[in-house]
Amino acid sequence: MDRYDRDLRSLQEARDKARAGAKAAAEIATFSEDKIDFILQNMVRVAEANKVMLAEMANKETGFGNVYDKTFKNHLASTLFYNEIKDMKCQGVLSDDEEKQVIEIAYPAGLVMGITPSTNPTSTIIFKAICAIKARDAIVFAPHPAALNCSVKAAELMAVAAEEAGAPVGTISIITNPSMEASNWLMRCPEVKLIVATGGPGMVKAAYAAGKPAIGVGPGNSPAYIEKTANIQQAVQNIKISKTFDQGLICASEQSIVCEEANKDAVIAEMKKQGFYFMTREQTQKVQNIIFKPGTHNMNSKFVGHKAEVIAAEAGFTVPEGTVILVGEQDGVGPDYPLSYEKLTQVIAFYTVYNWKEAHDLCNRLLQHGIGHTFSIHTEDKDMVMKFSDMPVSRIMVNSPSAQGGVGGCNNLLISYTLGCGTIGGSAVSENVGPQNFINKKVIAWATVDLSDLKAIDPTWDYDPEPEAPAADAFANAFANTPASNGITQDQLNEIVNLMVKSLKGEK
């Protein structure tokens, strides 16, 4: 089969599944809360039963990360996420304010298109499928080709589980023969009402350019600032826990460490103690040369989500046993310093600054390459946290592993695999995306004032089309003895004032 035939088949599959999805969306929109919850419980049960198998498939197919952490990601996206949102109100009356006479009601978005990545493929599909069903939507997935098989398996498991519990056929589906043509058609077809895109910048931009509601998230580039009052041992441990989780694949994970001259030696000593390997300048250059595509700051997929010792070996040097993260000291930000960009693997940049003001400036510059996403700070000074509250991000993690914190795994943020970056980062939302973003809200509002008299809205409001003459006369008097200047004679100035007074009085 040639490329032309594959693209045609992919396009036809997209059309068929969009039509089936739209039909299913209309039917599931009528389901009760109890029926929806019954479907969700079966989906969670099936996801739990297959979490290891899906993790193994994803790891084998992509070569990214590790099975243990991917298994937990699937658990987080199913059981833990369901427990968090099971009581979330997503249909019927959301609020009824008797005092203000306003009722807010939820209703479904319709057919959702879910674009999923290769880094967290199965967990993202489980997560988005649960979001869609909770909101009484249907969803059709466009998976990343590099994670096709595991994505298809995850989506099919969720589809069968949903249908077994009573969901209409076609409520959850996936394009099994993906192509750019099919994805572009889905994004623009009338059946799809909402796009939720998790993936590379190109796909996210395409989603926003489709001319319909879209939620997209861009890359992260989170710096971790270890402020001088921080508990250094705990800060380094948190960064280690985060950066090694699934071998650095979560976009909220730390990409740079920033410390001050005052605590630099203690931070470096603790990092070395916990398995961070500080590369020489030559070794850093070698690592940069292999983990990024030539002439760019885009990662070479061969090294995404890989262990530190594997990267070091490919770069031509060995590291001590127990090394968990490669560290490259940097002197600046931008194209001449590739490690200042996002690195979804076990490599991190290291910066030293003189004080918190320099740290603030540096972190701001680093975040311009991951704007809107996540920032982390380690400090015992709450006032210092507030000084960094103006960072151009949507979430700030305090004394926390940034990856787990960003997705809501170790705090009270909503568990999510789609982290909104707000208008700062070109996203429609700035929160952790969940079922609340998969619904529409309509309001019913009663009139509370009698508009037969506009003063019912504002008793102090008044309108007088005829300004009082004294105001104009006072204006004239104010200029009566104004000396002429700039080449204007006194007579000319008086004439200008007279014309202005007439205008104020409504005269011609």
The string of DSSP letters for 79-125 reads IIHHHHHTT---SEEEEEETTTTEEEEEEE--EEEEE--SSSHHHHH
Give the residue from 473, 372, 474 showing the smallest Cα distance to 429: 372
404 shares a domain with 298? yes
Alpha helices (H) in 225-353, listed in sequence order:
232-244, 264-273, 281-291, 308-315
Give residue 451's pLDDT.
Answer: 80
Decide which of 423, 440, 457 is a domain's last residue: 440
Strands (E), 321-405: 325-329, 347-353, 372-378, 393-398
Residues 6+ positions from 258 with CB-CB distance below 8 Å? 223, 224, 225, 226, 351, 352, 353, 359, 362, 363, 366
365 shares a domain with 348? yes
79 shares a domain with 154? yes
DSSP 424: G
296 shares a domain with 189? no
Residue 182 lies in a domain: yes
List, for residues 33-57, the tens digit of each pLDDT value. 999 999 999 999 999 999 999 999 9
Residue 454 lies in a domain: no
Alpha helices (H) in 324-446, listed in sequence order:
356-367, 382-387, 402-406
Decide which of 410, 426, 452 is a domain's last residue: 410
Q: Is the pLDDT of residue 476 over 60?
A: no
487 shares a domain with 390? no
**Residues 124 and 77 sit within 8 Å (Cβ to Cβ):** yes
Q: Is the pLDDT of residue 478 over 80?
A: no
82 shares a domain with 157? yes
Give residue 6's pLDDT.
Answer: 79
67 shares a domain with 122? yes
Residue 420 lies in a domain: no
Give residue 261's pLDDT.
Answer: 96
Give residue 218's pLDDT.
Answer: 76
Residue 448 lies in a domain: no
d(CA 285, CA 330): 11
Torsion 270-272-273-275 (CA) sign? positive
- The identity of residue 230, as a single letter, is A
Q: Which of 109-118, 241-250, 260-269, 460-469 has the lowest mean pLDDT?
A: 460-469
Torsion 266-271-277-278 (CA) sign? negative
249 shares a domain with 180? no
Q: Which residue in the block uniquely carries the two structure tokens 């972190």? A: 363
Question: Which CATH number is 309's domain given?
Answer: 3.40.309.10
d(CA 380, CA 399): 9
Active site residue 90: no
285-294 — which CB contacts under 8 Å span 24+ positions? Answer: 286/315, 286/316, 286/317, 287/311, 287/312, 287/315, 287/326, 287/328, 287/347, 288/328, 288/338, 288/339, 289/315, 290/314, 290/315, 291/343, 291/345, 291/347, 292/338, 292/341
Higher confidence at residue 60 or residue 486? 60
Higher confidence at residue 83 or residue 465? 83
Extract the tokens encoding 355: 């004080």
List, for residues 398-453, the tens digit of each pLDDT value. 999 999 999 999 999 999 999 999 988 888 899 999 999 999 999 999 998 888 77
Integer Rg of the chain from CA: 29
Residue 100 lies in a domain: no
Q: CA neighbours within 13 Å on the CB side: how many for 260?
A: 19
d(CA 16, CA 287): 46
Give the residue from 84, 88, 57 showing the smallest Cα distance to 71: 57
Q: Is the pLDDT of residue 508 over 90?
A: no
Q: pLDDT averaged over the chain?
A: 92
Give residue 463's pLDDT.
Answer: 78
Q: Is the pLDDT of residue 482 over 60?
A: no
Residue 41 lies in a domain: yes
Beta strands 439-445; 102-108: pairing state: antiparallel
139 shares a domain with 37? yes
Question: Which CATH number is 136's domain given?
Answer: 3.40.605.10
Residue 95 lies in a domain: no
191 shares a domain with 57? yes
Backbone angles phi, psi at 279, to 5 degrees: -75, 155
With a pLDDT cut of 90, the percent of the chain lying above it is 80
Residues 6+ positions from 211 with CB-CB distance below 8 Å? 188
Q: Which of 6-10, 210-214, 285-289, 381-385 has the lowest mean pLDDT?
A: 6-10
Cross-strand partners of 276: 325
Q: Is the pLDDT of residue 201 over 90?
A: no
- Highest mean pLDDT among 210-219, 246-255, 471-480 belongs to 246-255
Name the catalytic one among 131, 251, 259, 363: 251
Residue 290 lies in a domain: yes
Rounded to two decimals, the pTM is 0.89
Containing structural domain, residue 398: 222-410
Extract the tokens encoding 277: 């390997």
Residues composing the chain:
508
d(CA 425, CA 368): 9
Beta strands 172-174; 214-217: pairing state: unpaired
254 shares a domain with 201? no
What is the total count of domains within the chain? 3
Decide which of 440, 455, 482 is a domain's last residue: 440
213 shares a domain with 242? no
Q: How confident is the model at residue 139 (pLDDT cuts 50, 70, 90)?
A: very high
